[in-house]
Chain A
């Protein structure tokens, strides 16, 4: 009797397996073909000197070359700089804005959420072309406002100046990064246990005390999630740079992702570019590992 039940359950499990794989098949085929395969290809190519002529295994030569390449070192520093500035700025601002917005009426909440999400929806290209125009030396709005109010004596070349260019990138990156964190914070604050907040108010806690003692700990998982996604996006900053400065002037705004693009698609050094990709992936994977640790460690809800 017992064995027949076991045999039966084994037969059921086999049948379930067959059905499950039929359902999984389309997703699995496309995933294997267009995600796993290129990942393996990129990893293997990073150990070759692949270029337009051909390819030969060179072991770790590409990786050794990276750490002696001034262009790469500058791009790596710029990438780190962008992450270090944008992550705290985006997190702090979206927390403030989220906290201010979630207390408003449903209509106002939805309006502000939409407005701050707009640059994400319109996409980097539309955003960049209008900012590039506003930053223009001769026809730009910023120089017009600067000179006509007397703040500046003459117009400046915002994007061609090695000091200001990266700040222009950071400003635009900021506008395209805060949309998602604000939505997340508004949702997370809505899930905070109201009875705790009310109890604190009855006990005479000020608004600020109630925030730091009760709300801040309960939205901590959201904060960590926001930090991680903002870091990942900042590490991969590419479209803005390609469209706005092409990494210039003299690689002062180049990032790893931009240099990878230039190395592969302008200079056709695929092996060397893939080595940059693997290195960047390793750094980002570290951040992502943190993300999944956070997500599986009992988070929002």
Chain B
């Protein structure tokens, strides 16, 4: 398509977008630079110049953050490590477990919903779709008592399993599976491949981009599933990095340097993951909106 790159409207849009982009990047910049400022540099006093860039960068906030230790037991052994590192580890565990389980369960289910005809298919698919139409957050209260009943109180699994159960993944994988040519599946059957073998060697390679999209999507949304984490996890050693930062904010509300160090520790890893898999991510968002 021909675009007049010099038209005044195009220039206007570009300038406005660049300004907006800088405004969107600013909070992130303010987190990172704030975490590197010492106690006096971080204060903003009337009539005094604000430090737009830390003049004497310091690691003191990070040192203070890491000095806070947490004790916990792993495989029956007592262990100790900086609380912030443990929180980061918990977030990574929740995201990875939710990602792996969602990808396996959703691709198996999505494939048969798209490609097999069986008794009860319409009913099951309707159930999945109806559940997806309901808001996630309103089931928080019953989920807490359910987790207690199942012995999952204060367990990271109490956050992982509800995320895996959410039917969005099944829906997405069904849409990707629709594109599998039925002739390929029949050819595999004629060659004598079993059902599971067919799934692994024929289906999975075709729906790989879909699995990639679902994986990155689940990883990031599990990392940021703050409301669920908030009602499920309270003990210091099972907190996630998001809960940890929120806790710092309510307990040390004026120690901005420390809070920003926590925020940087939580935001930077997930941004790197996003940038690394951005291609799949965009695909996932668009596919989710397309008719199946």
Contacts and interface: CB of A to CB of B under 8 A. Distances in A.
Interface of A: 13, 16-17, 19-21, 23-24, 26-28, 30-31, 33-39, 41-42, 45, 97, 100-101, 103-104, 110-127, 129-134, 138-141, 144, 147-148, 155, 175, 180, 183-184, 187, 194, 197-198, 201, 207, 222, 225, 232, 235-236, 238-239, 242-243, 257, 260-261, 264-265, 270, 273-274, 277-278, 280-281, 284-285, 288-289, 291-292, 295-296, 298-301
Contact of B291 (A101, A118, A296): A296
Interface residues of B, number: 97
B73 interface: no
Contacts of A295: 289, 291
- The interface residues of chain B, by DSSP majority, are classed as helix
A280 B135 contact: yes
Interface string B245-288: 11001000010100110110011001100110010001001100
A237 to B, nearest CB: 10
Contacts of B93: none
B146 A122 contact: no
Interface of B: 1-3, 9-10, 13-14, 16-17, 20-21, 24-25, 27-28, 30-31, 34, 42-44, 46, 50, 101, 104-106, 108-109, 111-113, 116-121, 124, 127-129, 131-143, 145-146, 161-162, 164-167, 170, 195, 199, 220, 223-224, 226-227, 230-231, 242-243, 245-246, 249, 254, 256, 259-260, 262-263, 266-267, 270-271, 274-275, 278, 282, 285-286, 289-291
Given A121-B220, A194-B1, A20 B121 contact: yes
Given A112-B21, A130-B30, A300 B10 contact: no
Contacts of B25: 115, 118
Contacts of A260: 138, 141
Contact of B105 (A27, A38, A261): A27
Contacts of A236: 135-137
Contacts of A242: 230
Contacts, number: 273
B175 to A, nearest CB: 11
A214 to B, nearest CB: 12
Nearest to A300: B290
B131 A42 contact: no
Contacts of B231: 261, 265
